[in-house]
Structure 1
Amino acid sequence: MVIQYKCPNCGDDMAFDSETGTLSCPSCGRKDNIEDFSDEHILTTFSEDEAKEYHCENCGAVILTDADTTATTCSFCGAGVVLGDRLSGVLAPKMVIPFKISKDEAIQAFRTWCKNGRLTPKGFMSADRIKAVTGMYVPFWLYDLNSKVHVQATGTKVREYTRGDYIYTETKYYDVMRDINLDYKKVPTDASEKMNDEIMDKLEPFHYEDLKEFKTPYLAGYIAEKYNYNDDELYPRVKARVQDFIDSYIDSTMAGYSSISFKTKQIDTKKKQSAYVLFPIWMVYYDYDKSEHTFAMNGQTGKIVGKPPLSFGKVAAWFSSIAGGSFITLKLIAFMLGGGLW
């Protein structure tokens, strides 16, 4: 099933507008609230093979889609379509965070992120490096978790004092026990096989006050994919993600001791519920040094993840001007060139 949203005024293809939160027509400028859009202007067609092949109703072209695609655009005329039968039943998202950052804003952020060429190789900013700018809804699972923790440990308190000519060290030992009940709400984990987990993790947080009940018009004009992994398959990963928070909380309850030696630490984490949601992400693919690189932006908050190409000479000159010492400069350059994602 292929869904397209047609303008009631002129019949052109409408798309979701991140600035106004409406369905917008690029030709006549008409804007419609998603809740009020009339069903008579929703064009639905069917395909026998799960919509892997469909005919664009705008230009008649035959378009082949990836089996995971739930929303896309026609490569021939640019019409936005939603593959509705891939969004039904267990594949239907519960909630969606609509885009707030427009395509133009994403491109401008990319250029700013590259520091307008101050630290990039010569000619990088003057050439058209951008190969593709894609707004996509990435599938995530949100988990509500509960952890029951039982800890037995030995704590010490050490003090030194002077009496006469002697310095004494006094160590007291304590039995420490903790029974802790922890709840975690809406812990996100991306469910797309194609997306880099490290990049997706670094694009967090998403602000959940913008979560909307899922409706297909939010996808119009963007690319979207269905999940590759269900909530049970991703549960071990989300469980591992909260482990550091659990350990940190346990430690925070034992402040005041000079040292802690754990005897037992029992952690039982269970899933209370999970929800399938779509989050907005801009992907900018750019070409440099005969290879393709990726810049990603949170389509709600504008947070950026990536690593721009750097000119060693420009970085050295820039740090020299502010640091003044060759040793410090080289250390900072090594950190920037060898570090992880920004």
Structure 2
Amino acid sequence: MLIHYKCPNCGDDMAFDSESGKLTCGSCGRTDSIEDFSEEFITTRFSDEEAKEYVCNNCGAAVITDADTSATTCSFCGAGVVLADRVSGNLAPDKVIPFQISKEEARNAFKKWCKNGRLTPKGFMSADRIKGITGIYVPFWLYDLHSIADVKAKATKVRTYTRGDYIYTETKYYDVRRKIDLTFNKVPVDASEKMNDDLMDKLEPYDYGSLKDFKTPYLAGYLAEKYNYDNKDLFPRVKSKVSEYIDKHIGSTISGYSSVQYKEKHVDTRERKASYVLLPVWMVYYDYDKQEHTFAMNGVNGKVVGKPPLSMGKVAAWFGSIAGATFMMAKIITFIIGGEIW
């Protein structure tokens, strides 16, 4: 089933506008609240099964998608459509964070980010080779977790002191026991097979205060993916994600010792709740030096992540400046205390 939002005034296509947070008509400028939009102007067409081909109600053209797409645009007329059968039932998201950065704002933010690259080539810094920018709602699971850590360790405190002509070293040994109760709220893990996990992790944090109950009009005019992995599939990954924070917290409670050797460490992490949400991501495709570089941008705060190309000349100059500064510092210290360095 395709969902298509038509303007009540002129009958043209409507899409979600990140600036106003409303459905907006690009032709007559009409805006409508998503909550109040009349179903009278929502055009739908049903499909007997989850096929890869749908029919655009705007122009009658075939809309071809892969099995994971839940919102797209018609290649012929440009209408933004939502594949309703892919965001309903078990595939219906609980929440969504709408885009808060427009495509033009995303383009400008990316250009600014490129110009700040101190070690990138000049041609890249000009940011004039943007091949495409695509707004995608990426499927995530947000986990609320409860962890209990039970730790046993051997610790030492070492003290060195002088008495008369002798230097003494005193070592005291301690049995350390910690039982720690931790709660994690809204830990995100992307559930799309297509998206790069490292890129998606680095887009954090999102403003979860902006979460809204899911409604299909938020997807109009953007691409969207349905999840490939459910919360059970991704539970090992979210456990691994919080384990680093658990280890750091345990370490922070065992301080003031000269050494700590863990004898036992048992961590039991359980899922309290998992919510299926869609988070906004601008994907930026940049053509440089006959290669396409892919970057991701947080659709709320404009944070850009990705691996830009490096200028070997700038890298060499940077290391040279560090080496030169170190050498000069050594010369100054040597001069102060007397002597020479070669």
TM-score with structure 1 setting the length: 0.89
Q: How many residues align?
A: 328
Match of 1:194 in 2: 194
Contact map agreement 1:320 1:326 (CA 8 A) in 2: no
Contact map agreement 2:14 2:23 (CA 8 A) in 1: yes
Match of 1:42 in 2: 42
Match of 1:185 in 2: 185
Distance 1:295 1:239 in 2: 27
CA-CA distance at 1:169 after TM superposition: 1.3
Contact map agreement 2:12 2:27 (CA 8 A) in 1: yes
Match of 2:339 in 1: none
Contact map agreement 2:157 2:257 (CA 8 A) in 1: yes
Match of 2:244 in 1: 244
Partner-residue secondary structure (3-state), 2:59: coil
CA-CA distance at 1:291 after TM superposition: 2.4
Which is higher, the Rg of structure 1 or of structure 2?
Answer: 2
Describe the superposition over 1:218-259 as per-residue Cα deviations: whole angstroms up to 9, x where unpaired: 101000000000111111111111111111111111111111
Alignment of 1:267 with 2:278, yes or no, is no
Distance 1:78 1:69 in 2: 16
Describe the superposition over 1:12-67 as per-residue Cα deviations: whole angstroms up to 9, x where unpaired: 11111111111111111111111111111111111233252112122221121111
Distance 1:151 1:118 in 2: 45
Match of 1:331 in 2: none
CA-CA distance at 1:122 after TM superposition: 5.9
**Which range is displaced more, 137-146 or 261-270?**
261-270
Partner-residue secondary structure (3-state), 1:34: coil
Contact map agreement 1:2 1:51 (CA 8 A) in 2: no
Distance 2:160 2:122 in 1: 62
Show the 5 A alignment for 1:208-227: 208-227=208-227
CA-CA distance at 1:118 after TM superposition: 8.0
| One-letter code aligned to 2:260 | I
CA-CA distance at 1:155 after TM superposition: 1.5
1:177–1:68 distance in 2 versus 1, CA, 3 Å: same
Alignment of 1:24 with 2:24, yes or no, is yes
Alignment of 1:112 with 2:130, yes or no, is no
Match of 1:230 in 2: 230
CA-CA distance at 1:317 after TM superposition: 6.2
**Which range is displaced more, 189-198 or 55-64?**
55-64
Partner-residue secondary structure (3-state), 1:234: helix
Match of 1:87 in 2: 87
CA-CA distance at 1:288 after TM superposition: 2.2
1:165–1:122 distance in 2 versus 1, CA, 3 Å: closer
Distance 1:82 1:51 in 2: 14
Match of 1:332 in 2: none
**Which range is displaced more, 129-138 or 286-295?**
286-295
Distance 1:303 1:172 in 2: 49
Contact map agreement 2:114 2:127 (CA 8 A) in 1: no
Describe the superposition over 1:70-98 as per-residue Cα deviations: whole angstroms up to 9, x where unpaired: 00001111100000011111100000111
Partner-residue secondary structure (3-state), 2:35: helix
Contact map agreement 2:19 2:100 (CA 8 A) in 1: yes
Match of 1:101 in 2: 101
Distance 1:262 1:34 in 2: 55
User: Unaligned stretches of 5+ in structure 1?
Assistant: 329-342
The 4+ residue runs of structure 1 with deviation greater than 4 A are: 116-128, 314-328
Show the 5 A alignment for 1:1-342: 1-115=1-115, 121=121, 129-313=129-313
RMSD: 2.4
Distance 2:126 2:161 in 1: 69
**Which range is displaced more, 156-165 or 108-117?**
108-117
Contact map agreement 2:52 2:64 (CA 8 A) in 1: yes
CA-CA distance at 1:145 after TM superposition: 1.1
CA-CA distance at 1:315 after TM superposition: 5.7
User: Unaligned stretches of 5+ in structure 2?
Assistant: 329-342
Contact map agreement 2:4 2:42 (CA 8 A) in 1: yes
Partner-residue secondary structure (3-state), 2:249: helix
Distance 1:291 1:208 in 2: 35
Among the aligned pairs, what percent are the same residue? 71
